[in-house]
Amino acid sequence: MNLTIENILLVGSILLFISVVVGKTSYKFGVPTLILFLAIGMLAGSDGIGGIFFNDPKIAQLIGVVSLNFILFSGGLNTNFKSIEPVLKEGLALSTAGVLLTALSLGTFVWFITDFTIYESMLLGSIVSSTDAAAVFSILRSKNLALRTNLRPTLELESGSNDPMAYVLTIAFLTLVVNQDQNILSIIPMFIQQMVVGAIAGFAFGYISKHVINKINLDFEGLYPVLVIALMFITFSATDFVGGNGFLAIYICAVYLGNQDLIHKQTILRMYDGLAWLTEIVLFLTLGLLVFPSQIIPFMGIGLLISVFLILVARPVGVFISLMFFKMKLRRRLYISWVGLRGAVPIVFATYPLLAGIDKANVIFNIVFFISVTSILIQGTTLSIFAKWLNVGEPEETKKLTEIDQLMSDLPKSSLQEFKILPDVLSSNKRIVDLNFPKSAFIVMIKRNNEYIRPGGSTVVKPHDILIVLADSDEDYVKVKECLYNRTAH
């Protein structure tokens, strides 16, 4: 069946509905939701029962880039800098040196066992060198898996920040494959420019975006998430326009914004959480439609060999060497090595050789697709088992609450404290976003004239308001008092 304007919405909505319903129960059987989304797309494709013909790498790449914007930005917004600060150096080492070492070791292996040239081999190694943010965020943030101490922040930081490195390596080696007269030294300036400009742009756009969000004063709360979407795409496209790495820029921008006081921040976070899931589903469905399973079968043997080498050798080499200067227990290094999930990102990157028209583009795409599927099936289904074997997992006894309504309904009233705002304190007649409120405390509700108001970042605290506050400890309540009860100068 060919997609037309008349039936694309019907087909798309049915596939989306099936994906959501199937994904709801997938973890009961230990199958990652993302692989099911991919399978649904393949079943709906021309080789499956749906018979939908889709063979446009350019559209697939566009959908992939847009989806990665949302996935990386959502992951960045939900990254607490305090949680990643202790593991910042380890995470950055994994996302740079770790990715490079994985690409080089796998590329060398491919060069030995195939008829690929050295640059074609390194191109394939680069495409699958990074862990997939969608897969890692999806599985690690599921309620079925809790990890000890700083292990989860390390893995999330790596998966969110290593795609830019893999992208630069992919473009660099693709350039060498297309332009046979160039040598490897010619790509070094491009590599440095991509990473440096991307990092600077990420911080710059994050700082600018914070002030735009808090100062623009929109009339409708629902427009703030739309504003953030616009700022996200501006960050990505503007950075790419000036020669920087757009993926790195949007991740840094999102991490910065996620750790700032923003107006309607909870609304923005909720919206991005939903959009990240939507784009993940759409991305995997699209890639499932793009692949022809009949074309993968001839490459299953070599694909499995490369996949096993990646999981058991190349990934551990990248992890152990990049972390050799850090104090870390062996079992933690082994678990980080195992959480080397490949997913949609390598498949998206594999469309670049297709569009460049190189000789072995179809071979690379089919091998990469097979590697991603086997990685999710083998590693994604065994993360909990390996966490128990290596003694790095623990039962998640209490789930962190992020919704104000959940805080009100689930926590005892004895854990809340009330603070009455006096007319002569600095907090009077100020917006909540401007209070510099402790990040470990929440204003759950405001009582004003016998009415209860659900607060947002733009809510102005009035004299005689009673603020109902939830905090983690007595020390946090002391900080709240200092914040709210500083007197104005006379």
CATH number corresponding to 8-389: 1.20.1530.20
pLDDT surpassing 80 at residue 186 = no
Other Cβ atoms closer than 10 A to 112: 9
Q: How confident is the model at residue 423 (pLDDT cuts 50, 70, 90)?
A: confident
- The Cβ of residue 203 has, within 10 Å, a number of other Cβ atoms equal to 14
Contact 41, 284 (CB under 8 A): yes
Residue 319 and residue 94: Cα distance in Å, rounded?
Answer: 6
Examine the pLDDT at 431 and tell me if it is beyond 90.
no
pLDDT band at 97 (very low <50, low <70, confident <90, very high): very high
DSSP state of 457: T
Q: Which whole-number Å values give the CA distances from 292 to 76, 295, 306, 348, in the listed order?
A: 33, 5, 20, 15
Mean of the per-residue pLDDT values of the chain = 83
pLDDT value of position 6: 61
pLDDT bucket at 116, cuts 50 / 70 / 90: very high
Q: How do the domains of the chain map onto residue ranges?
A: 8-389, 404-485
| 56-73 pLDDT tens trace | 888 888 988 998 899 889
Identical fold for domains 8-389 and 404-485, yes or no, is: no
| pLDDT, average across residues 402-431 | 66
Q: Please tell me the CATH superfamily of domain 404-485, with its number.
A: Regulator of K+ conductance, C-terminal domain (3.30.70.1450)
364 pLDDT more than 60: yes
Tens-digit pLDDT profile for residues 300-323: 999 999 999 999 999 999 999 999
Q: What pairs with residue 420 in β-bridges?
A: 466
Buried-state track 415-432, b at ≥16 Cβ within 10 A, e below 16 = ebbebebeeebebbebbb
293: helix, strand or coil? helix
Rounded mean pLDDT of 338-359? 87
- At 143, the pLDDT band (50, 70, 90 cuts) reads very low
In the prediction, which pLDDT does 142 show? 55
Instruction: Look at the alpha carbons of 253, 74, 160, 328 in this order and tell me if their dihedral is positive or negative.
Output: positive
Taking residue 448's Cβ as centre, other Cβ atoms within 10 Å add up to: 16
What are the pLDDT digits (tens) for 254-298? Answer: 999 988 888 888 888 888 888 888 888 888 888 888 888 888 888
Which of 104-108, 150-154, 217-221, 337-341 is modeled with the greatest confidence? 104-108
- How high is the pLDDT of residue 487? 63
- The DSSP H or E segment spanning 419 is strand 416-420
Q: Is the pLDDT of residue 166 over 70?
A: yes
Is residue 145 over pLDDT 70?
no
Write out the two tokens for 228: 């953030």
Whole-number Cα distances in Å, 118 to 124, 186, 239, 316:
10, 16, 31, 22
> What is the per-residue pLDDT for 380?
79
Please give the structure tokens belonging to residue 471: 């905090």
Q: Per-residue pLDDT for 45 more than 80?
A: no
User: What Rg value do the Cα atoms of the chain yield, rounded?
Assistant: 24
φ, ψ for residue 460 (rounded to 5)? -90, 130
Give the DSSP per-residue string, 435-449. Answer: S---TTEEEEEEEET
Q: What average pLDDT does range 116-137 have in this prediction?
A: 87
pLDDT at 480: 85
- Band (pLDDT 50/70/90 cuts) for residue 32 is low
Contacts of residue 156, defined as CB under 8 A and 6 or more positions apart, other chains included, come to 75, 79, 84, 136, 137, 140, 141
